[in-house]
Amino acid sequence: MGFEQRGRGWVSVPQGLTIPHTIGGLWAVRHGQSEANVWFADPTTNIRHMRTTDADVELTDVGRWEARKLGQWLAGLGSVQRPDLVVCSPYLRTRLTWALMAATATERNRHLRPIRTVVDERIRDREMGIFDLFPQPAIRRASPSEAARRERLGDWWYRPPGGESIADVAMRVRSFLTELDAVAPGEQVLLVTHDAVLSALRYVIDGFGATPDLVSVPTASVSQWRREGNRLALRVWGSADHLAEGKDADFVEAAG
């Protein structure tokens, strides 16, 4: 889960292959803050503490508030930009995010029609194998050799035992987008997914070559690609502007 930016001397590969797209446009949101996000943010964490699997990690109170703010954002979209199809990761934190988004959007805009929603495992989070839900300090403690290998290779190429590299995630994301073009031509599509998938989307859609610069987007952030001819052009990346509006008052009310 997650990744780190590393400052080594990499050979720049400015562009990879891009493919034509038929969907009308693509929105991608990262799930709200999860319990694992809080756990991983603590620099002193050096053990695997969470007694669950990555697929079953819950949202925090902040994450639920963020999901409702995403619902307000969704309710405010015009009819042209509003999604015709929602595709959600099967993980609990993404499904909870979408459920709260949809409920809030309906409360805010009674004219909204229900949006067709499906779950697809290809936009699940990166699998970390034997290091499932291990913060980086915990990996260093459990297996110094694997921590050193990860540092040497970078997360784009590093595949933990039983897990995936970001390049592996990009392979399944490419398959997903190809099928999406076939089943949803001309439609606006919203993905509710994870930071690793967002990085893979940049690689697959924008044609970036392999890159070590895997900077995580914020939780509950919004990214957008618009259709231009037969290409998808990035217009918004990792925006959290919708979270800043009335943040203090809204969160106190939600928590109370």
CATH number, position 125 = 3.40.50.1240
Residue 225 phi/psi, 5° resolution?
A: -120, 130
Q: Is the pLDDT of residue 1 over 70?
A: no
Domain assignment of residue 145, yes or no: no
Domain that holds residue 251: 25-40+59-129+165-255
Residue 37, H or E segment: helix 35-41
Position 17 scores a pLDDT of: 64
Domain-located, residue 16: no
In a domain, 90, yes or no: yes
Task: Identify the CA nearest to 66 among candidates 78, 56, 74, 76.
Answer: 74
Report pTM: 0.88
- Look at residue 134 and tell me if it is in a domain: no
In a domain, 4, yes or no: no
Question: Are residues 60 and 34 in contact, defined by beta-carbon separation less than 8 angstroms?
Answer: yes
pLDDT score, position 210: 63
CA dist 190 → 86, 123, 200, 221, 229 (Å): 5, 12, 16, 13, 20
Q: Are the C-beta atoms of 82 and 75 separated by less than 8 Å?
A: no
Q: Is residue 248 part of a domain?
A: yes
Task: Report pLDDT for 42.
Answer: 82
Q: Beta partners for 59?
A: 34
Please, what's the b/e burial string for 132-141 (b: 16 or more CB within 10 A of its CB; e: otherwise)? bbbbbbbbbe
Would residue 46 count as lying in a domain?
A: no
| pLDDT tens digits, 25-79 | 999 999 999 999 998 888 777 666 677 899 999 999 999 999 999 999 999 999 9
Q: Which of 138-152, 179-193, 204-218 has the lowest mean pLDDT?
A: 204-218
| Structural domain total, the chain | 1
